[in-house]
A and B are shown apart, each in its own frame.
Chain A
Amino acid sequence: MEADSRGLDTGSAPAEVLTVCDREPIHRLGTLQPHGFLLALRDPDGRIVQASANVPGGIEACLGRPCDVAFPDLEGLFPADSAEPERDGAQYLRTVSLSTPEGPLAYDLAIHRSGALTILEFEAVASVFASNHSLDALYPRLSRFVEGLHEAASVAELCHLVAVDIRHITGFDRTLVYRFDRDWHGTVIAEDGNGALPSYLDLRFPATDIPAQARELYRRNRLRIIPDAGYRPVPILREPGEDAEPLDLSQSILRSVSPVHVEYMRNMGTMASMSVSILVDGALWGLISCHNAAPRRVPLQARNACDFLTRIFALQLAAKERGAEAEQRLRLGAIQARLLGFMAEEENFLDGLLKHSDDVLALAGASGAAVITSDTCRLLGTTPRDVEVRGIYQWLSSGPGGADLVATDALSEVYPPARAFAEQASGLLAISISQKYASYVLWFRPEVVRTVKWGGDPTKAATPDPAGGPERLHPRQSFEIWKETLQNRSLPWSRAEIESVKDLRASVLGIVLRRAEELASLSEELQRSNKELEAFSYSVSHDLRAPFRHIVGYAELLRSREGSRLSDKGRHYINTIVEAAFSAGTLVDNLLRFSQMGRNALNPVAGDLNALVEEVRRSVMREVPPERTIRWTIGSLGKVNADPVMLRLVIENLLSNAVKYSRDRAEAVIEVGRLDGRSPGQAPDGDGAEQAVFFVRDNGVGFDMAYVDKLFGVFQRLHRVEEFEGTGIGLANVRRIVERHGGRTWAEGAIGAGATFYFTLPTPTAVPNPNAATRTRSPRNPRDAR
């Protein structure tokens, strides 16, 4: 329990007590625990200037006297030079025997320096332990331990080993290995015990339980012990007139602890405790914390062994952690390489991510992820709702200045709306993969409180103190505080995880860049081939047209000037030559127009489709033989957004086709209209422009649906020339023009049952579909139209 961890020296207690602790100069308490006594000597004469009240023989007998006079037994024990450099930590000198009024007593003597003073601490030796804890006795165990450390596969295994061994050496009821996280919150990650005390495995403690200056103390003084929480503190006294400043006891092994802490220990039912600091690279990594239900002394040799063992353990720990980090990097590197492979295979590289959600989540150790751009949001794993993720996206793309990478384990602190979905996303890791199109990949982590697993049950320990001690001083309370502290927080993103998504970002940008280059070179190629096409059609228009013109011209001349001298057959031949050359010339003209349709710039303007249809209808009717009867039904078509010159060609083609293919009908019926709603299967395009569906229907010869795919191809004809004239390019032009407007064309028909041609066009925004009433024209004789 953290009683110890925070414990030995500070009052470890919930917040309000701790804030008091924060201000209290805890290393300068002027009292000792009573299992030994202390002398402070002033250099250079070794005069005793301070001493604890329990010094054998009485305080009066020693204060102000040179040490070797007051304690002749110590003469010659210290190195002659008192100029030995001040080192962190008390040094065990040896076990000494002192003559006291109660007879000779054995003490373990430790020495350290505090400012100008040399501090001697005499810890009474409990003779029963002495033999068991000599270095010789401990050696086999230590050496087995060191071997075990080498074999341990993981940090967790190492921690378990050290917990078992420390408990064995010290004989405590329970040992815990307590680890600090980045924010100094603690977790019990390993435990060994005999069942006398409850298990605290996996228990969490807030950073406030062990305040900063206590941690600093732990860093400098690696081992603290309280053999009996029921002790009565012994004051340290000084010679009158000595420096009034209390003695700095931060290195002391006998130093007294805060009364609050002692109270806490008693509440826990632990009367003895010891804690050893685990330092990795000079920083406090964690603590080994030991407890006993009854008071317990641990002799200095055993404590030294524990300190030694812990230091070996810490060395191994550092190596294991580095190894684990390297391993994690390798593992993440492999995942990243796989993802890159997936992305390279896909047309749209983001699909490479979307199709492999497990790897995407594993890359950052996340429980959810999202790939989001301005118009798409794809979610993987456990995430906030779509609309909430879009909110994060808005914030990302405007808020933190379009940062390349955002990593936080407390999203709601920087983005308060995240509080609402802390359960799914308290932690956010985000990379921007395109500045221009504001695209991100996001990873989410849940609130850390929800990820806690319990090995032990802290509630068991919450049995009320029979002595009526305050209930708040209890690990359970610590857990509550910890939960509060870590609300809306996730586990932090590790360096390796952040690096791996950074690398992913670099790779994605590489892909994007390469795609952009490919596109650029493709468009260069397109431009070149467009230029070639232009040159080609230019020369066709000049060079291919001319010979046809000449053939027609000379044949006509022949007919008009020499016709009378020809036979009927000869004149038939001439007529055929003229017709053939004429249609070849027309074909060239149509081809050129078709290619121009593709090359000319599009100038869409909003306009009234009914007006255009009517104008085209009139001009088409001019070519219709007067004896035909055609009934036109033209619905309300509304406004469309199109290039009028090109759209006129579309309408011309469709109307003249309808007229042409219905010429065998006694009454041709041609209907032009607009459908409600969207064209089938048509998704709204990127700009969200609405598309309207129009149709031209006739009751003519129709076509076989088997050939519907050929209808819109260049030079595709479904009828013989002598049945219906034409070059087979009209519908190809229709499709080309409509597609250039972003629309679609399709047709329905049946042989002998007419045909319907559909096309879609963008409509000006916010224009309601005017397809309400249908105007019907009565059958009329085209002659009237002239």
Chain B
Amino acid sequence: MPDLKPILLVEDNPNDIELTLAALEKSQLANEIVICRDGAEALDFLHRRGLFKDRDARDPAVVLLDLKLPKVDGLEVLAQVKGNLRTRAIPVVMLTSSREETDLVRSYDLGVNAFVVKPVGFTEFFEAIQDLGVFWAVLNEPPPHRGGGWPSNT
């Protein structure tokens, strides 16, 4: 349907692309899914330049952004999207293998809307992707806060 915004998947690993597509397909979303294979391409798409100069004027509903990407990495793409007035409203979900806390912290610092560590179990992965398609915030990880983490006395 023409009024549906596309979903932008930025992922370089073909296996992950295939698995992610399979999951999205299973959720029966009608959105067009645009795939970019590296950070530079994703930025071109988002800023409608280069190959994507003539793309549909609507911005994607959500960007599923892998952290580790060729050319321009995920954090850099995130920084540019969130640092630009025109694009900062686009929801970005960091989709990554990384459990590294520093990545998490940086992503939240840069204004990511959600941070999803791809689970090893496929079922969870499927669920995550499906949910993300509908609403990006289901499986997000909260910003890490250290210290003060004691439970309130029960």
Interface residues of A (CB under 8 A from B): 537-538, 541-543, 545-546, 548-550, 552-557, 578, 581-582, 585-586, 589, 592-593, 596, 600-601, 603, 605, 607-608, 611-612, 614-615, 643-645, 648
5 A–B contact pairs at CB < 8 A?
A: A538-B100, A541-B98, A545-B118, A600-B101, A608-B150
Is B150 a contact of A550 with CB atoms below 8 Å?
no
The answer, among A552, A593, A605, A645, for a CB contact under 8 Å with B122, is A552
Taking A553-B19, A614-B154 as given, write out 9 further A-B residue pairs in contact, using a Cβ cutoff of 8 Å, ordered by the A residue number. Answer: A542-B96, A545-B97, A545-B120, A550-B16, A556-B123, A586-B120, A605-B149, A644-B149, A645-B146
Is A592 a contact of B19 with CB atoms below 8 Å?
no
- The SS class assigned to the B binding surface is loop
The answer, among A555, A593, A605, for a CB contact under 8 Å with B150, is A605
Query: Is residue B125 within 8 Å, beta carbon to beta carbon, of the partner chain?
Result: yes
Determine the chain B residues whose CB is within 8 A of the CB of A600 once the complex forms. Answer: 101
CB closest chain-A residue, reference B148? A605
Is B150 a contact of A542 with CB atoms below 8 Å?
no
Is B19 a contact of A557 with CB atoms below 8 Å?
yes
Is A552 a contact of B120 with CB atoms below 8 Å?
yes
Query: Is residue B99 within 8 Å, beta carbon to beta carbon, of the partner chain?
Result: yes
Known: A611-B152, A615-B154. Is A546-B16 also a contact (CB below 8 A)?
A: yes
CB closest chain-A residue, reference B149? A644
Is A596 a contact of B101 with CB atoms below 8 Å?
yes
Is B99 a contact of A541 with CB atoms below 8 Å?
yes
A56 to B146, CA, bound (A): 115
Is A645 a contact of B154 with CB atoms below 8 Å?
no
Q: How far is the CB of B148 from chain A (nearest CB, A)?
A: 7
The answer, among B96, B101, B122, B150, for a CB contact under 8 Å with A553, is B122
Determine the chain A residues whose CB is within 8 A of the CB of B67 once the complex forms. Answer: 542
Among B67, B98, B149: residue with most chain A CB under 10 A: B149
CB closest chain-B residue, reference A543? B97
The 6 closest A-B pairs by CB, nearest first: A585-B120, A556-B122, A607-B150, A644-B149, A603-B147, A553-B19
- The SS class assigned to the A binding surface is helix
Q: How far is the CB of B23 from chain A (nearest CB, A)?
A: 9
Q: How far is the CB of A536 from chain B (nearest CB, A)?
A: 12
A601 to B147, CA, bound (A): 10
A552 to B97, CA, bound (A): 14
A720 to B111, CA, bound (A): 46
Is A611 a contact of B151 with CB atoms below 8 Å?
yes
Q: Interface code B90-104, partner A: CB below 8 Å = 1, 0 otherwise?
A: 000000111111000
A29 to B36, CA, bound (A): 121
Is A582 a contact of B152 with CB atoms below 8 Å?
no
A505 to B32, CA, bound (A): 80
The answer, among A537, A542, A611, for a CB contact under 8 Å with B97, is A542
Q: How far is the CB of A618 from chain B (nearest CB, A)?
A: 9
Is B154 a contact of A611 with CB atoms below 8 Å?
yes
Is A612 a contact of B150 with CB atoms below 8 Å?
yes
Among B67, B99, B152: residue with most chain A CB under 10 A: B99
Among B19, B96, B122, B154: residue with most chain A CB under 10 A: B122
CB closest chain-A residue, reference B150? A607
Determine the chain A residues whose CB is within 8 A of the CB of B123 once the complex forms. Answer: 556
Q: Interface code B125-154, partner A: CB below 8 Å = 1, 0 otherwise?
A: 110000000000000000000111111111
Query: Is residue B50 within 8 Å, beta carbon to beta carbon, of the partner chain?
Result: no
Is B97 a contact of A553 with CB atoms below 8 Å?
no
Q: How far is the CB of A248 from chain B (nearest CB, A)?
A: 90
Q: How far is the CB of A37 from chain B (nearest CB, A)?
A: 105
Is B15 a contact of A550 with CB atoms below 8 Å?
yes
Known: A592-B99, A596-B101. Is A546-B13 also a contact (CB below 8 A)?
A: yes
CB closest chain-A residue, reference B14? A550
Query: Is residue B2 within 8 Å, beta carbon to beta carbon, of the partner chain?
Result: no
The answer, among A578, A589, A611, for a CB contact under 8 Å with B99, is A589
Is B151 a contact of A615 with CB atoms below 8 Å?
yes
Q: How far is the CB of B18 from chain A (nearest CB, A)?
A: 8
Q: How far is the CB of B13 from chain A (nearest CB, A)?
A: 7
Known: A538-B98, A549-B97. Is A644-B150 also a contact (CB below 8 A)?
A: yes
The answer, among A543, A549, A557, A603, for a CB contact under 8 Å with B22, is A557
Q: How far is the CB of A45 from chain B (nearest CB, A)?
A: 109
A586 to B98, CA, bound (A): 13
Among A552, A555, A600, A605: residue with most chain B CB under 10 A: A552
Is A546 a contact of B97 with CB atoms below 8 Å?
yes
Determine the chain B residues whose CB is within 8 A of the CB of A615 once the complex forms. Answer: 151, 154
A543 to B37, CA, bound (A): 17
Determine the chain B residues whose CB is within 8 A of the CB of A541 once the complex forms. Answer: 97-100
Known: A546-B97, A550-B15. Is A603-B154 also a contact (CB below 8 A)?
A: no
Determine the chain A residues whose CB is within 8 A of the CB of B126 once the complex forms. Answer: 556
CB closest chain-B residue, reference A592? B99
Query: For chain B residues 66-85, which have a beta carbon within 8 Å of chain A?
Result: 67-68
Determine the chain A residues whose CB is within 8 A of the CB of B120 once the complex forms. Answer: 545, 548-549, 552, 581-582, 585-586, 589
Q: How far is the CB of A672 from chain B (nearest CB, A)?
A: 15
Among B16, B96, B154: residue with most chain A CB under 10 A: B154
Known: A546-B97, A549-B118, A596-B101. Is A611-B150 also a contact (CB below 8 A)?
A: yes
Is B101 a contact of A605 with CB atoms below 8 Å?
no
Q: How far is the CB of A594 from chain B (nearest CB, A)?
A: 12
A603 to B121, CA, bound (A): 32
Determine the chain B residues whose CB is within 8 A of the CB of A592 once the complex forms. Answer: 99
Determine the chain B residues whose CB is within 8 A of the CB of A556 once the complex forms. Answer: 122-123, 126
A490 to B29, CA, bound (A): 98
Is B125 a contact of A553 with CB atoms below 8 Å?
yes
Q: How far is the CB of B70 from chain A (nearest CB, A)?
A: 13
A596 to B104, CA, bound (A): 14
Q: How far is the CB of B147 from chain A (nearest CB, A)?
A: 4
Q: How far is the CB of A690 from chain B (nearest CB, A)?
A: 20
